[in-house]
Structure 1
Amino acid sequence: MSSSNKTHSTLTIRPAVAADAAIIHQLIVELAVYEKAEHEVKASVADIERSLFDKDSTVEARICERDGQSIGYAVYFFNYSTWLAKSGLYLEDLYITPEARGCGAGKAMLVHLAKIAVDKNCGRFEWSVLDWNEPSIKFYESLGAKAQNEWVGYRLTGDALQALAQQA
């Protein structure tokens, strides 16, 4: 998929490959800084390479480039809805570098991923956004996305996850 902005730059979205692990890691750290959670990034470049590109990986990634330079990434996986009896596409991360925002890259990535979801007959395309991230919320709503306010996300990590697993 390609598109042009006002300065005639070319956007390209392509599947990520193992050689992209370092740039994906760098962009993950940038995203974490933006989300005020840099201290939570534990993944190394090697971890990214293994988790995204090993043959048994259940996640996929895309790289967005402008004029051949990586300006963003998306990581996603397929989940399942019992109510729809269909898979869904869950967007784990979408990040465009601050200097590249406004050129249409974020929308191009979402369009690209929506096409993947439709081509795979997914019933849903979902993601989460921090409640303070007003620019992203407004952007997503402008595309027709709706907040799922009735659902509250829960997470088990670290000691709590280990403790529950040990009850088996």
Structure 2
Amino acid sequence: MTTTIRPLRPEDEAEWRRLWTGYLEYYQTSVPEEVYASTFARLIGDDPQDFSGFIAEVDGKPMGITHYLFHRHCWKIENVCYLQDLYVDPAARGTGLGRKLIEAVYKAADEAGAPAVWWLTQDFNTTGRQLYDRIAKVTPFIRYVR
């Protein structure tokens, strides 16, 4: 099995949509078409304030994605990195692909001088949390939203 993690490119849009739709369905949500279009444009754009993304290929077939962004933090001088979305196709789960995608974001953060990478997940994501517990530290913060 040959795995490649690389930045998203314009020609990845159809497979990215397939994977991001799977991610959204896992979290029992959906977004309108204009959000798909806007998000993908930001992911492949060159504005450093926008999102970035990686796609994971297994033997040439796209099987996972992650989206991340850098943002200011009041407790640090440097920007920190928020890993917003992470998804691995069910056919590739348990192969280490999720870990490789997170490690690619860690590497991008290191290269950008970001001292922290953080993300959220839902409490029912037990499989994902088993991985996260091995490669990151859970915090006691509770999220509120308006």
Q: Determine what percentage of the aligned residue pairs are the same residue.
A: 28
Please list the CA deviations of residues 36-64 of structure 1 after superposition, one character each: whole Å capped at 9, or x if unmatched. 22xx3224553344232344461111110
Partner Cα distance (1:120, 1:51) in 2: 18
Of structures 1 and 2, the larger Rg is shown by: 1
Determine the structure 1 residue equivalent to 2:31. 41
Give the paired residue count.
Answer: 144
Q: CA deviation at 1:150?
A: 2.6
The partner residue of 1:95 within 81, 87, 112 is 87
TM-score normalized by structure 1? 0.78
Which amino acid is the alignment partner of residue 119 of structure 2? W
What stretches of structure 2 of length at least 5 have no aligned partner?
none
Q: CA RMSD in A?
A: 1.7
Q: Which has the higher contact order (CA 8 A, sep 6+)?
A: 2
Q: Aligned in 2, Cα 1:48/1:80: closer, same or farther, shift over 3 Å? A: closer
Q: Aligned in 2, Cα 1:49/1:138: closer, same or farther, shift over 3 Å? A: closer
The partner residue of 1:77 within 60, 63, 69 is 69
Partner Cα distance (1:113, 1:104) in 2: 15
Partner Cα distance (2:17, 2:53) in 1: 12
Determine the structure 2 residue equivalent to 1:66. 58
Residues 23-34 of structure 1: pairs in structure 2 closer than 5 A: 23-34=15-26
The partner residue of 2:138 within 128, 131, 147 is 147
